[in-house]
Chain A
């Protein structure tokens, strides 16, 4: 249990997707102009990560990684399909996003009106594919760990985008040098937030 908590907290703060790995930057910068929409995208990211990562974990475990096809018989034990992982992961993500969109639209119209516009954006959000690739590289022991990691990094991303949106709302009233306005100051703000987040590196669990 302690492992899960440690992994969870670490993936939110220490290995924050935005500040430590720059994952999902495009939509992070594009959709952080106000808190409300930022919140919507953040929730959608958490949701999609939580669904796709365990699925990709299972695919990796039983289909892609070297020796993963052992369950088919000893003849298949030597096969290594890991070169297909990028394409499988992205296909799963695109498909899941599509399905999630349809399901949400059908069964939770209220949620759909909030998340709807963000879902298609998310298929090409690096944070989602990045989550799956990091999962593969870090070699998690079971689905539980993969899901914990997904939840943690999703929440980390969510926190980061809300924080930035709040800062940008306030920044609209400050006197920023003309060439820095908009994009420039946003980058510098994110950089400073990243430095602030680095203080979490020392936490021990």
Chain B
């Protein structure tokens, strides 16, 4: 087992090896909650917590898991974390949990969580796995928040529900871009983020 390199494990997934824009993991469900920044932030936080904690637990259990039922055990660990997060959200931020509806449950099948357990946590020490999970969760959340920022700003003229585009703009004829609120725009924005990232980091470009 190689030595634990904090910078490598924690920071790499946030930028260079970002799970969404580079590894294409876990785009699934969560884009649907990027209409508003608030929902996206809660979602980002939930994914980070679930990824970090299930990586930690899976890493603690890594030497005991029977190989044959490995996937099921991983699913159970992830599902456990997701249910806990869901219950806590319902108890403390009810209105947000209502807008996230089924998407919290879908974190279970978010490839990022299972992917990190399978690829990292099962072969590394608990603390390293926790950091890897945290890093990936944050890298993932970052993309969600960026997408949500633009969608809410351009689509509703607000951020976190507060109006940021002044009334006078509207009087001059400025209009909210209704298209931004619609689901497909999340994908197009994501395409643009990848475009920018790959223009800067040329080594990521596909042939």
Point out residues on A near B: beta carbons under 8 Å. 19-26, 29-30, 83-87, 89-91, 94, 123-126, 128-130, 133-134, 136-137, 177-188, 190-195, 198
Point out residues on B near A: beta carbons under 8 Å. 21, 24-32, 71-72, 75-76, 79-80, 82-83, 86-87, 101-102, 105-106, 108-111, 114, 179, 182-188, 190-192, 194-199, 202, 205-207
- Known pairs A20-B183, A24-B28, A184-B192 / 5 extra A-B pairs, C-beta < 8 Å: A130-B102, A181-B205, A184-B194, A187-B188, A194-B184
The answer, among B71, B108, B111, B194, for a CB contact under 8 Å with A26, is B111
Residues of B within 8 A of A85 (CB): 105
**A126 with B183: in contact, given A29-B27, A180-B191 (CB under 8 Å)?**
no
Cβ of B206 and Cβ of A183 under 8 Å apart? Answer: yes
The answer, among A94, A130, A180, for a CB contact under 8 Å with B194, is A180
**A90 with B206: in contact, given A183-B194, A192-B188, A194-B184 (CB under 8 Å)?**
no
Cβ of B79 and Cβ of A26 under 8 Å apart? Answer: no
**A133 with B106: in contact, given A87-B76, A87-B80 (CB under 8 Å)?**
yes
Q: How far is it, in angstroms, between the C-alpha of A179 and the C-alpha of B205 when the chains are bound? A: 5
Cβ of A181 and Cβ of B207 under 8 Å apart? Answer: yes
Nearest first, the 9 A-B pairs at minimum CB distance are A194-B184, A182-B206, A187-B191, A191-B188, A179-B198, A191-B187, A188-B191, A133-B102, A184-B194
**A22 with B80: in contact, given A137-B102, A183-B194, A187-B191 (CB under 8 Å)?**
no
Cβ of B75 and Cβ of A187 under 8 Å apart? Answer: no
Cβ of B82 to closest chain A Cβ, rounded Å: 6
Cβ of A181 and Cβ of B182 under 8 Å apart? Answer: no
Q: How far is it, in angstroms, between the C-alpha of A198 and the C-alpha of B191 when the chains are bound? A: 19
Sample (22) of A-B pairs whose CB atoms are under 8 Å apart = A19-B184, A22-B27, A24-B28, A83-B86, A86-B86, A87-B80, A94-B75, A126-B106, A128-B109, A179-B196, A179-B199, A180-B191, A183-B24, A184-B195, A184-B198, A186-B191, A187-B188, A188-B191, A192-B188, A195-B179, A195-B184, A198-B184
**Across the two chains, which residue of chain B brings its CB closest to A20?**
B183
Cβ of A191 and Cβ of B205 under 8 Å apart? Answer: no
Cβ of A187 and Cβ of B194 under 8 Å apart? Answer: yes
Q: How far is it, in angstroms, between the C-alpha of A92 and the C-alpha of B198 when the chains are bound? A: 40
Cβ of A162 to closest chain B Cβ, rounded Å: 18
Residues of A within 8 A of B195 (CB): 177, 179-180, 184
Q: How far is it, in angstroms, between the C-alpha of A87 and the C-alpha of B86 when the chains are bound? A: 12
Cβ of B198 to closest chain A Cβ, rounded Å: 4
Cβ of B206 and Cβ of A181 under 8 Å apart? Answer: yes
Cβ of B194 and Cβ of A22 under 8 Å apart? Answer: no
Residues of B within 8 A of A23 (CB): 28-29, 106
**Across the two chains, which residue of chain B brings its CB closest to A120?**
B71
Residues of B within 8 A of A134 (CB): 102
**Across the two chains, which residue of chain B brings its CB closest to A26?**
B111
Cβ of A129 and Cβ of B109 under 8 Å apart? Answer: yes
Q: How far is it, in angstroms, between the C-alpha of A180 and the C-alpha of B187 when the chains are bound? A: 13
Cβ of B110 and Cβ of A126 under 8 Å apart? Answer: yes
Residues of B within 8 A of A21 (CB): 29, 32, 183
